[in-house]
Amino acid sequence: MMRLPDQQEQQKEVKDAQMPPAQSLVSRYIGATLIFGLLLALTFFSGFVALLVVLALILMIFLHELGHYLTARWTGMKVSGFFLGFGPRLWSYRRGETEYGVRALPLGAYVRIIGMSNLEEIPPEDEHRTYRAKPYSSRLLVAVAGSMMHFLLAIGVLWLMFSAIGYFPLNTSAEERSREWNIAEVIPNTPADAAGFQAGDKIVGANGVPLNSRIEAVDFITQRPGQSVNFEVERDGQIITLRSGIGSNGRIGIRLRQLNPPPSGFFEGIGQSFTEFGEITRLSTIGLWDVFSPSGLQNLWNDVFGDDPEPVIGEVSTESRAVSIYGVSLIAIDLGDSGDWGVVLFLFAAINIFVGLFNLVPLPPLDGGHVAVATYEQFRSRKGRPHRIDAAKLVPLQYLVILLLIAVFAAVLYLDVSNPIRGT
């Protein structure tokens, strides 16, 4: 998110050592939970996969700020700083009028654009290059640029997911999804083990009855406890027959896994990525309302202060509770360890879409708040007389939003630590 510059440049060194103002709240939250998640993930999980997840989130934060930076420069605004991290300066260099560098606390990133509000005092010679002095179209472009970077990144990841790896779109039916599967594991000392089943096999029929999906195979087995069945099994492109008994519990001792469909072509993958982007956007909008609506906040309160629930294991559905960046990281690490990189890419795309939408909520201190202010000012302006909102009047609303976001973020993070949703 864009950061308001210091009001007095001569006090910059003192203020730079402090945490940035409220405009960087979302970026700060993502960074804080990212660091916390990194420490736990590297302690309990595969370091390589955890590192990939953290680097992906750092890339996401950096590209958000890069969007603000590039559009501000392109529209003629003065960018006085672009930093990774907050707090005391570790390293920096100045090129032209912009200082670039790294700070001690890796809790996000920020871009400093002069004149983001009428509360800031700017030298007269720089006034024409402030954010507030630019036309509505320029201010709108800069304000939405961070979210646009999230959306472009998500579309690119979705295209890679469909065209290079293969993935079922969200609107695919359960029956269609279940047609791509095989045996992940044969449990020792079970009927399937005695019959000669192997990991990678796929049951395509039984007793001469075609089984066209994982659902049909499971139903056939569970409905015949205690029987012996001739299974037609596809192995290495050939069909073989294996005779296996079925236990009294309706099981033969195999664990199944869902497979992704074959990758799409280049152009087909582009179309699928935009369609999937639209569906994720729709679901994310519903999710935002579900979390921040009165009933959603009440449910979150009950989750935090109610009875301790059992750990949640399995896929995250639309019925699940809200998940923080840390919680999603745990899911991604689990799925990465299991080799399901298609789902990992999907999660990364979904995170970017959700964060992009969240930043566009028309309330300060979010980027959408800048959009709302610029739009209102444009609507109220008359024939060469620009209307400007008194930024001081927005301060109470800004801090009310901040308190709400901090409470929600803390509650969701608490749930992800105390009762995490796991990917496997």
Q: What's the rounded Cα separation, in Å, for the pair 293 and 224?
A: 47
Q: Summarize the confidence of residues 34-51 as an average pLDDT.
A: 56
- Split at pLDDT 50, 70, 90, the class of 6 is very low
Query: Where are the domains positioned within the chain?
Result: 2-164+350-422, 177-258
% pLDDT > 70, the chain: 81
pLDDT by residue (tens digit) across 144-171? 999 999 999 999 999 999 998 888 888 8
Beta strand pairing status for 421-422 and 312-313? parallel
The pLDDT of residue 196:
95
Higher pLDDT, 325 or 396: 396
Helix, strand, coil shares of the chain, percent, nearest 5, are: 55, 20, 30
**What number is the average pLDDT over the span 316-335?**
64
Instruction: Look at the domain 177-258 and name its fold.
Output: Pdz3 Domain (2.30.42)
CA–CA gap between residue 325 and residue 351 (Å, rounded): 8
pLDDT value of residue 184: 86
b/e code 343-359 from CB counts within 10 Å (16+ = b): bbbbbbbbbbbbbbbbb
Q: Is 290 exposed, middle or buried (0-12, 13-18, 19+ CB in 10 A)?
A: middle
